Amino acid sequence: RTSPRLLCAATQQKNTGQNLEEDQSQSQNEQKVEPSSAEKLLAEEKAKLEEQLKEVTEKYKRALADAENVRQRSQKLVEEAKLYGIQSFCKDLLEVADILEKATESVPKEEIKDENPHLKSLYEGLVMTEMQIQKVFKKHGLLRLNPVGAKFDPYEHEALFHSAVQGREPGTVALVSKVGYKLHGRTLRPALVGVVKDA
């Protein structure tokens, strides 16, 4: 025969087990219950804020990239302005150099004698001036193009005429009517040339 004490303990254990099961099922039911409207609003607000943060971050990154591009372009423009800012001034000086060259070429070499001191000193002065102006041009990156015998290049030469020349390769420069100039590698004035054509 079981004692009443044992029966009471068994009943308590049974009740405790039932209570545990009830508590578990109750907590599962609570989890299944939909979140309150305040929680929904907070979740929606959080999603909106995260989206806005993402958009602002993207805009910020684009703005940084644009600013860097503008800075690099501005720096390049400043460097080009330093190099090519004297371009129009150089073009004007080229005419002076052409006149000096024509003046020295026009003096007959046989007339340059000690018996003719005025002409000799004038000629020497012109030659020295021409040499000095070419030094100044070179110092500032302005180089002379005299392409006799070189291959015709449309970026550096302007063809005035084509003619067949014996012993010359077709497509080469046979005659230079006017020398050209380059400023820091950029053609400032193309050389005016005659080009050899096929016979």
- Domain range summary for the chain, segments of one domain joined by +: 39-140, 142-198
CATH fold match for the domains 39-140 and 142-198: no
Distance CA(37)–CA(58), nearest Å, equals: 32
* Ordered per-residue pLDDT tens for the chain, 199 residues: 545 555 455 555 555 555 555 555 555 555 554 668 888 899 999 999 999 999 999 999 999 999 999 999 999 999 888 888 888 889 999 999 999 999 999 988 888 888 888 888 999 999 999 999 999 999 999 999 999 989 999 999 999 999 888 888 888 999 999 999 999 989 999 999 999 987 6
The CATH topology of domain 142-198 is Nucleotide Exchange Factor Grpe; Chain A, domain 2 (2.30.22)
141's torsion region: left (phi>0), alpha (psi -120 to 50) or beta?
left
Q: Give the model's pLDDT for residue 71.
A: 95
CATH, range 39-140: 3.90.20
Q: Give the model's pLDDT for residue 149.
A: 87
Q: Give the model's pLDDT for residue 115.
A: 87
Q: Give the model's pLDDT for residue 182.
A: 94
In terms of pTM, does the model score above 0.85? no
Q: Give the model's pLDDT for residue 52.
A: 94
